[in-house]
Chain A
């Protein structure tokens, strides 16, 4: 290790002590000539009025895209999207909706991460850098949405674009491998192709995007809006 590398390593360690600050700095520094854009904020609208009870098309597409396969243990199997059934106790109205990483602006998982592995890209996508994740699972405790999974066992047959392995935490990454190349997340694509049209993905900062247009029209809410996390995933009809 030469002196320059030492300085860098020292800098990273120091910066890690102030979580919020460090991550933004790193993302901006690394982005010179990059494809992430700080003017963009990726987001999603879930129109729960269009989610049929029992439909798992988005979950299935997600599992296939990322090569997630369960071991029949619901408690510990990795899942990026969960379908949650709700019933209003007073009125009896039921709804069914997918819940995944909400890509919060002030993400609790990022705040608590001791290594800086949990971070928010400058375009709003919250990720785990599995190369620096030590598997402590603080982020899983901090997340109000139960969005993250821990890998307990050795895995085989991972898909090339989603490396996954024992001892690290993972969650929905808004399919960055697709989005960075101009695509949409696999769940959104599946929902659209099955003609449900319950999921809309896009740039929340672009007033002309389909997402912004719908967010402007429809009344939407954030799950646990009381926490003021400014989530990137918004719900209609919950």
Chain B
């Protein structure tokens, strides 16, 4: 059997480990989200963007579909113009590729998103200029 003192020490030890793990998760210090390639700031404050970007996109989706409002502010293609990186050859890297802006976070939160099954994941597109 452990003594009461030993129990206390183990308890404190476990507590410290948990706290350090949690804070690591909370600050996300071990994940690096690629920075934006364009623009000084986002279309909203960063704290708001982190939490509310999906609501913005869903709202914009309906505005565009039903009312033909095509302002770029909250549009999906708008996000891509600032958040899609290029590789060394100057070609766009799809924003949903592993490690890229949208995917880096979503992989961490185990989010599966079907948007890019239809939507182009880069601002420009090769097909449009061929044929």
Using CB atoms and an 8 Å cutoff, list the residues of chain A in contact with chain B.
26-27, 30-36, 60, 63-64, 67, 69, 119, 121, 123, 127, 129-131, 154-155, 157-161, 163-166, 168, 176-177, 179-181
Contact = CB atoms under 8 A, between A and B. Distances in A.
Interface of B: prevailing SS? helix
Q: Which 7 A-B pairs have the closest CB atoms?
A: A34-B67, A165-B118, A163-B118, A30-B66, A180-B68, A163-B119, A36-B68
A143 B71 CA distance: 32
Contact of B67 (A36, A67, A159): A36
A79 to B, nearest CB: 15
The DSSP consensus for interface residues of chain A is loop
B68 A163 contact: no
Interface of B: 61-63, 65-70, 77, 80, 114, 117-120, 122-128, 131
A63 B131 CA distance: 9
Contacts of B61: 131
A35 B118 contact: no
Given A158-B120, A163-B120, A165-B118, A35 B126 contact: no
Nearest to B80: A160
A159 B118 CA distance: 9
A168 B125 CA distance: 22
Given A121-B68, A180-B68, A181-B70, A159 B123 contact: no
Contacts of A154: 117
5 contacts: A119-B66, A121-B66, A121-B68, A158-B127, A166-B117
Contacts of A67: 125, 127-128
Contacts of B80: 160
